[in-house]
């Protein structure tokens, strides 16, 4: 994937404040002999809120419009400042403000005995020298208690961990925690603490549901800038599948405008008295765009761990699709006007769909849900998401019913879904890389973490041929790897060392082509 100026980051930075603009001022005419009583400032301010919320301010000064009297700005007789309506406007504004204050207070009360600070010491491998690790580093994050005496946090908070400590609010003591399960694709992890002292006075949080747009949420955690617990408020801006920066997967996420800073990762986003998601990343280069992992992804992760005792992964159909919004494409494949669907352009040989589907099939429905020409399906009230979300919510070895159009005829097919491994692994967290040394030549399997060693701009600085194959090529059989010659050790003969890069290219060409 090409790096861009707007990158998804697991830890964010604070946004710049919005600039303020003064409204135009006009001299008032002489006051009447008996002026009407002016409402109190607080009443007038609250009465303005409903009117100003939907107003759009113009940059054109009122002085450019001739013959305007006080109370006229663009239209004759239109008041520049709305009149206070104490009976309706004030009551509505006060109710909204009271509800927001109550939600924030309730979130703090819930979080005091549930949210913990996570301290991690980690050490990742050096992929250029795979027999040794990099220097240890310390990081901090957040987590919260759920039922069953478990703590949920982000996978990137405990990735490549050496040991993990947790500290509850109001306590100076840090307790040792064990990582029970880690799902790097969904960026979630479960921790357990054996100490009985830690669990005294701790309460678990209940998982809620996906919030609707503009619903208020409170993000609780331990961000940078202080040591005590922090609460930031925001509203839900968008719900759709998003690229997860840590696991490089496409899963559902909720976009909010609450501040998510370094240290917030793993903390809960609370709506009312339940958890609406887990804070995990933000969009760099943009203002007030943070993301939380929604409850369906959390429940899917937890249920998989409870059923199998370990992280089971998220299913994929194993196909690449093309939109059929072009009328010529629809006519070419015999789609009738009332039909909608997407064109199957590529199928993973390791998937069950490779035996069932064919290239150039039109996928019309997934489990009885019609697929639109752009690959989306209905979601809640007048919202749409890509049909990949329906696939990701399936459990491993579960059956899906597909309705396809093939050669002008409709067919109903069943496919078994399971997680699929790519030809080049996307991540290698929590395990050491494999390597083989022969006569001074160091051979390693190609992985994306190896390409990441070329720097932040690895897509452009790493070897182009390796990068293209890592991102686009599919495996032909299970367990297949691309093996490359990483380097030639310096103790080898000088002649071979001088020609190491030539040997590298020859060996790479032989290994990459003879598969």
Active site amino acids: 156, 187, 265
State the Cα–Cα distance between residues 183 and 193, nearest whole angstrom: 19
Q: At what angle do helices 464-472 and 500-513 cross, to 10 degrees?
A: 20
State the Cα–Cα distance between residues 149 and 59, nearest whole angstrom: 57
> Where does 380-425 have alpha helices with state H?
388-392
Q: What is the DSSP letter of 300?
A: H
State the Cα–Cα distance between residues 268 and 280, nearest whole angstrom: 10
Residues β-bridged to residue 191 = 151, 179
State the Cα–Cα distance between residues 122 and 138, nearest whole angstrom: 7
Q: How is the chain split among helix, strand and coil, in percent rounded to 5?
A: 20, 30, 50
Taking the CB of residue 432, how many other CB atoms lie within 10 A of it? 12
For 375, phi then psi, to 5°, come to: 85, 15
3-state secondary structure 15-57: CCCCCCCCCCCCCCCCCCCCCCCCCCHHHHHHHHHHHHHCCCC
């Amino acid at each position: 994937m090409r790096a861009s100026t707007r990158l998804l980051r697991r830890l964010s930075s604070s946004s710049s404040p919005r600039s303020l603009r003064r409204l135009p001022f006009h001299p008032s005419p002489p006051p009447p002999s008996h002026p009407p009583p002016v409402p109190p400032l607080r009443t007038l301010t609250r009465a303005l809120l409903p009117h100003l919320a939907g107003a759009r301010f113009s940059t054109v000064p009122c002085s450019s419009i001739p013959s305007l009297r006080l109370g006229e700005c663009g239209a004759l007789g239109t008041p520049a400042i709305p009149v206070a309506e104490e009976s309706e406007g004030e009551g509505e504004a006060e109710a909204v403000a009271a509800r927001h204050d109550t939600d924030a207070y309730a979130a703090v009360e819930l979080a005091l005995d549930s949210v913990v600070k996570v301290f991690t010491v980690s050490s990742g491998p050096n992929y250029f020298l795979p027999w040794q690790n990099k220097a240890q580093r310390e990081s901090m994050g957040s987590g919260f208690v759920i039922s069953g005496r478990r703590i949920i946090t982000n996978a990137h908070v405990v990735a490549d961990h050496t040991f993990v400590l947790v500290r509850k609010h109001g306590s100076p003591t840090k307790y040792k925690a064990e990582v029970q399960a880690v799902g790097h694709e969904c960026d979630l992890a479960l921790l357990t603490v054996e100490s009985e002292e830690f669990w005294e006075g701790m309460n678990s949080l209940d998982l809620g549901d996906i919030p609707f747009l503009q619903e208020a949420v409170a993000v609780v955690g331990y961000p940078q800038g202080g040591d005590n617990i922090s609460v930031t408020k925001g509203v839900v801006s968008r719900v759709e599948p998003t690229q997860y920066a840590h696991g490089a997967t496409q899963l559902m996420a909720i976009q909010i405008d609450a501040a998510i800073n370094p240290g917030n990762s793993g903390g809960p986003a609370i709506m009312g008295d339940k958890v609406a998601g887990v804070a995990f990343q933000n969009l760099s280069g943009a203002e007030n765009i943070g993301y939380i992992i929604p409850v369906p992804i959390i429940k899917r992760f937890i249920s998989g761990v409870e059923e199998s005792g370990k992280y089971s992964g998220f299913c994929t159909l194993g196909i690449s699709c093309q939109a059929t919004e072009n009328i010529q494409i629809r006519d070419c494949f015999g789609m009738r006007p009332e039909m909608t669907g997407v064109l199957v352009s590529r199928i993973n040989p390791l998937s069950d769909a490779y035996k069932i589907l064919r290239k150039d099939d039109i996928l019309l429905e997934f489990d009885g849900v019609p697929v639109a020409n752009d690959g989306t399906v209905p979601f809640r009230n007048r919202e749409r998401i890509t049909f990949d979300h329906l696939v990701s919510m399936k459990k491993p070895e579960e059956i899906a019913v597909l309705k396809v159009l093939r050669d002008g005829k409709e067919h109903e097919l069943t496919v078994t879904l399971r997680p699929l491994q790519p030809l080049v692994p996307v991540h290698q967290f929590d395990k050491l890389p494999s390597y083989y040394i022969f006569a001074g030549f160091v051979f390693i399997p190609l992985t994306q973490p190896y390409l990441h060693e070329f720097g932040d701009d690895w897509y452009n600085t790493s070897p182009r041929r390796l990068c293209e194959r890592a991102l686009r090529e599919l495996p032909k059989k299970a367990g297949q790897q691309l093996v490359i010659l990483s380097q030639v050790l310096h103790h080898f003969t000088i002649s071979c060392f001088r020609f190491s890069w030539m040997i590298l290219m020859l060996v790479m060409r032989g290994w990459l082509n003879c598969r």
